[in-house]
Structure 1
Amino acid sequence: MDKQAVGARSSRILGRLWERRVPEQPEAGGEEAEMAGEALAVVDQVEEESEEAGPSTSQGGLRRKMDSGGPPTEESPRKRSRGTSSSVYERLFLMGEGSDVQIRALGEVWNLHKVYLCQSGYFASMFSGAWREATMNTIDLQMPDENIDREALHEALSSLYQSSVLIPPRRVVSILATASMLQLDELIQECGEVMKDTVSVHTVCSYYHSAESYGLPNIKTVCFQWLLDNLMTYHNEELLLRQLSPDIMKELIASSELLVMDVEMDVYSMLKKWMYLQLQPAWNGSRRALLPHANLWLARSKRESGGTPFLETQEGGVFVPVFQHLRLAYIICDLPSARIIDQDALIPPAWLTPVYKDQWLALVRAEQSKGVGPTDVHVPNCPRNSMRCGHHLPREMRCSWRWAGFNFGWDLVVCYANQRIIFKRSAKNKSHGLGVSLLWQRKVAFRLCVVSLDTTGRATFRKGTEYQVLSLGRDEELEIMNLENQDVAFPIYVACNFLYVPREGRTPE
């Protein structure tokens, strides 16, 4: 970078300083102008020496990449260009030549320049107006945030001087916290880009909380979507479940975007494992042993409490808001699942009794009402009440499946063949009991989504439908999604939301 570019950049800094000058205190503006002139003289001297010495080397950046599911490496920290030579960074920041202010914090001392520090909103406010620090040569900074450490503060301050900033993923939260305190908007934005690119099982929870704390709603959304996609699909579920707080888990379980594998009962089983790990953080065992150990622990708790449902005990109270978002109506429709719920004595009977009543009445209406159902469905009600279910396809192949628990006259078969997903109503097999109705037509509101995830859990493909009403007669089929000419990588996850549409008409007397 040449001297002319440095001069232009410094002029912009001076312009900002003059704009911040308080009108009632003209002497403050004079001091700032004098201070800026001295600093620019040092910059000119450094640049002239740099030109005589020839081109200088700047800090090199390594590529940032992710392992397959492993922690983010430091091979590619984010590099941010600013347009300042390495000589300015080395002579002014590292060596402190021409310093007019000393910053002390976290046991470290930096000899710096107000004209550069004023690029920070924090220091710009401090050095202008009637603040005591405006006339001080030594400033002691207090760190209000435990995420800020000496290394992060050094990197944040250096960003005001050097031509590039390296942001390793393992350091991004600390640098973000420091940039937020110092009001370094550009550095905050770069931290967000690093976080967006490196979301994984090792970083997602810390990124989520940091994005919430430091005002990065887009990063919070990215992290939450990653959790929705991976909560029930990630191969190392124990690692993920240990990190999730009750507050995050409550939001995930409440969402109809949750990628459920296979049916709602599997959400209940996952929550048992999560709750066990929250209560027994020292547990160490295999993935297959986790649910049996959780069941044994619940059985022992049931005996010790005299049969009191665990969620009604003092220890279980913290988990109540999470389990309240289970969609119990789609669990008790399956007999084996209903028996497990009863055996665990985890859910209070007061939660289950109204659900059983509502489901029984809905079933009776489905079998005895006349008509085929309303033509319009209020879609906003679908996400909150819909049945969530999904299926995993490891490779391209012809297959079909059913989801247990979705009854009321449907024997709905889902088929995948030739890159097409087809819904088919089959009434040939009468052995499914309530799963098959002899009535000629049923209606259901549904939404379907196909997702492909890479080894770090990031979605590489996503295609979905809006909520729509499906009406099928016996043995009728309908193509729901065509994936031809789509960039789909297996394995894929097929996720559905269903909502039974009650039939119109009076119940026969």
Structure 2
Amino acid sequence: MGNSYSNILPLGTPRRNGISGPSTSSTTLEESGEAQPSSLTPIRQTSRRRKLTTDCSECEFKTPEPVVKRAKLDTPKYIYQKLFLEGAKSDVTIRALGMSWHLHKLYLEQCDYFAALFSERWGAEKKRVYELDVLDSRVNIPGLDNVFASLYQNEIEIDLDNIGGVLASASMINLLVVIQRCDDVMVETMNGSNVLEYLELASAYGCQTTREAAMVLLERMFWKYSQDPAFLKRLSYDTLVEVCARRDLCICEGEKDLYHAIRRWFYIRSKNELDCPDSDLSKYFNSQPEHHFYKYHLLLKNVRFQHMITSKRTMEKLKHDHLIGADMLDTMMKDLWNTLLVNEDKNEVSSFFSSEEVTDDFFYSHCRRLGRHLEEGNKCWRWAGYDFGLDLVVRCQFRTVYLIRNFSRDHGLFQLSVRKLTRIHYRMVILNASGQVLLDSGRKMCELALDEKEIVGSVSTDLTNVSIHLFYLASVPGPSADKYWTAIESPGPSEVKNEV
């Protein structure tokens, strides 16, 4: 048996706490054991000097009744043992997958599927043997056994190794309460090793809570999970597209990490090999026609290539890999040059940042996405690459995170476009190793002078084995990434899926 979950369900016979009859005793017993007069016993009081007396004739016939000991009967356990396991007084037999269950219509009718099956509309109210036609390959005998058992008791045991079988079985007979419990269990036990399985189950059986939880976990931890070739092999094209299109996708280091993850996914799915050294990847992509990967534009348009082409080495690699064509790369270079000229014009910059507030849609579609994994706290770093004269530094110190606009007169890389005051729209997210949020600053805006810092926030635990993800916009941006793919004609979905 694998790990299992047990929880109370509103199914089967309700548990009774014992049997008690009406109280007829006219005398109650305190903890001391002494009899106390009750309101049913007549009490007569004489003059002040006379003693309190009672009617002796009544005392002779009315004696305290003994205290009744009430024993609690475990009725659900008895019902489960006798009726389900032993099949006592069974009035119906259910057959499926070569197995027979001797059950009871009264209990099965808790499920709408069997209530309809046993109704007169089907002319089967007197039928005693039913053969279930199982079409779903996930339905199995342990799953059906668990689901049938839940109708006889107020709990269900879910083996995590067979949660798919339980969910499929419950869905087959439309037992909603078990489906809901499976939904809850998958959310509670979700991690990197089962998130893709749970996502597939949730999509197949309509478990929306699990599906959204899986997508949130993937958007936070894809940068980490994608380093495992086995994970990439199990990842479907549709799921990869959906993850990369998420607004809150957390990236580590920069866009190049997302780019390399997609490269590995293409290679693994094409070659069916988990070992993918960079030399083999380069040969594979260089051997493809220039526009071969344009059919996957729904995926590639989520990579912000325009944020990668800030070095000659990156430019050469993009040309070599053929994920995007030379014509698209040239267009990006022209737009980048135009963006540089715009940010050199103080009037253009001032006009952009003094206009209406930057909307969420604009911010998340144009912002730079960066990140870093920290094994221990008290670190200070910058991300390499040209950013229109902005040298943005992150410092983690004593559980507090700072954004610093660094300025060094000896650092020639950042001398271009130096402005006295820079407005920065940003959001920072700090995650632990499991993908739980330690800090989410939300969208903020600050104005930093040279060498000025902004306190982003503090966390309640040490910054050990965490990842820090930064979304920011500090200059007038160029076109969004999807603009370059609008003219690409989309192939049919089957064409893409068949190839990958």
TM-score range, shorter chain: 0.7 to 0.9
> In the superposition, relative to structure 1, how do residues 184 and 429 fare at CA in structure 2: closer, same or farther (>3 Å)?
farther
- Residue from 124, 138, 158 that aligns with 2:115: 124
Q: 1:208 deviation in Å? A: 0.4
Query: Within the alignment, does 1:160 sit opposite 2:151 as a pair?
Result: yes
Contact 2:227 2:261 in 1 (8 A): no
- Residue from 373, 376, 395 that aligns with 1:395: 376
Q: 1:158 deviation in Å? A: 1.4
1:325 counterpart residue number: 302
Please provide the CA RMSD for this pair. Answer: 2.4
1:356 counterpart residue number: 333
Q: 1:336 deviation in Å? A: 2.5
2:320 counterpart residue number: 343
> In the superposition, relative to structure 1, how do residues 168 and 429 fare at CA in structure 2: closer, same or farther (>3 Å)?
farther
- Higher normalized helix content (fraction of residues): 1
Cα deviation per residue 1:82-112 (whole Å; 9 max; x = unaligned)?
Answer: 5452332222122222122221211112221
Partners in 2 of 1:463 and 1:129 — Cα distance? 60
Query: Within the alignment, does 1:450 sit opposite 2:378 as a pair?
Result: no
Q: How many residues align?
A: 410
Contact 1:108 1:150 in 2 (8 A): yes
> In the superposition, relative to structure 1, how do residues 350 and 321 fare at CA in structure 2: closer, same or farther (>3 Å)?
farther
Query: Within the alignment, does 1:426 sit opposite 2:402 as a pair?
Result: no
2:464 counterpart letter in structure 1: F
1:369 counterpart letter in structure 2: K
The 5 A counterparts of 1:248-327 are 248-281=239-272, 283-285=273-275, 290-299=277-286, 301-302=287-288, 305=289, 308-312=290-294, 317=295, 319-327=296-304
Greater shift in the superposed pair: 166-175 or 190-199: 190-199
Query: Within the alignment, does 1:411 sit opposite 2:411 as a pair?
Result: no
Q: 1:198 deviation in Å? A: 2.1
Contact 1:430 1:436 in 2 (8 A): no
**TM-score, length-normalised on structure 1?**
0.75
Contact 1:406 1:435 in 2 (8 A): no
Cα deviation per residue 1:444-477 (whole Å; 9 max; x = unaligned)?
Answer: 3211111112xxxx33443111212232222222
1:224 counterpart letter in structure 2: M
Q: 1:212 deviation in Å? A: 1.6
Q: 1:338 deviation in Å? A: 2.2
Q: 1:151 deviation in Å? A: 2.0
2:284 counterpart letter in structure 1: W
Contact 1:264 1:331 in 2 (8 A): yes
Partners in 1 of 2:383 and 2:299 — Cα distance? 24
Query: Within the alignment, does 1:468 sit opposite 2:444 as a pair?
Result: yes
Partners in 2 of 1:271 and 1:502 — Cα distance? 28
2:65 counterpart residue number: none
The 5 A counterparts of 1:164-175 are 164-175=155-166
Where does structure 2 lack aligned partners over 5 or more consecutive residues?
16-74, 478-500
Contact 2:221 2:435 in 1 (8 A): no
Q: 1:392 deviation in Å? A: 1.4
**TM-score, length-normalised on structure 2?**
0.76
- Residue from 454, 467, 470 that aligns with 1:496: 470
Query: Within the alignment, does 1:109 sit opposite 2:109 as a pair?
Result: no
1:478 counterpart letter in structure 2: E
Partners in 1 of 2:207 and 2:416 — Cα distance? 49
Secondary structure at 1:414's aligned position in 2?
A: strand
Cα deviation per residue 1:66-88 (whole Å; 9 max; x = unaligned)?
Answer: xxxxxxx8244334465452332
Contact 2:170 2:176 in 1 (8 A): yes
Cα deviation per residue 1:327-381 (whole Å; 9 max; x = unaligned)?
Answer: 1121113433222111222212343343323222111110123253424212222
Partners in 2 of 1:409 and 1:87 — Cα distance? 77
Secondary structure at 2:265's aligned position in 1?
A: helix
Partners in 1 of 2:461 and 2:97 — Cα distance? 51
1:374 counterpart residue number: 353
Partners in 1 of 2:361 and 2:291 — Cα distance? 33
1:4 counterpart residue number: none
Partners in 1 of 2:335 and 2:263 — Cα distance? 25
2:42 counterpart residue number: none
> In the superposition, relative to structure 1, how do residues 435 and 394 fare at CA in structure 2: closer, same or farther (>3 Å)?
farther
Partners in 1 of 2:400 and 2:141 — Cα distance? 56
- Residue from 453, 457, 461 that aligns with 1:487: 461
2:353 counterpart letter in structure 1: P
Contact 1:80 1:190 in 2 (8 A): no
Identity of aligned residues (%): 25
Partners in 1 of 2:103 and 2:242 — Cα distance? 45
Cα deviation per residue 1:254-274 (whole Å; 9 max; x = unaligned)?
Answer: 123222111011110111111
2:2 counterpart residue number: 74
> In the superposition, relative to structure 1, how do residues 106 and 324 fare at CA in structure 2: closer, same or farther (>3 Å)?
same
> In the superposition, relative to structure 1, how do residues 194 and 435 fare at CA in structure 2: closer, same or farther (>3 Å)?
farther
Query: Within the alignment, does 1:148 sit opposite 2:128 as a pair?
Result: no
The 5 A counterparts of 1:212-223 are 212-223=203-214
2:208 counterpart letter in structure 1: P
Contact 1:407 1:435 in 2 (8 A): no
Contact 1:366 1:409 in 2 (8 A): no
Q: 1:482 deviation in Å? A: 2.1
Partners in 2 of 1:345 and 1:435 — Cα distance? 34
Partners in 2 of 1:435 and 1:290 — Cα distance? 38
Partners in 1 of 2:170 and 2:451 — Cα distance? 62
Contact 1:272 1:291 in 2 (8 A): no
> In the superposition, relative to structure 1, how do residues 129 and 442 fare at CA in structure 2: closer, same or farther (>3 Å)?
farther
Cα deviation per residue 1:172-197 (whole Å; 9 max; x = unaligned)?
Answer: 01111111222222211221222122
2:285 counterpart letter in structure 1: L
Q: 1:127 deviation in Å? A: 2.3
Partners in 2 of 1:422 and 1:180 — Cα distance? 50
Contact 1:400 1:413 in 2 (8 A): yes
Query: Within the alignment, does 1:205 sit opposite 2:204 as a pair?
Result: no
Where does structure 1 lack aligned partners over 5 or more consecutive residues?
1-72, 504-509
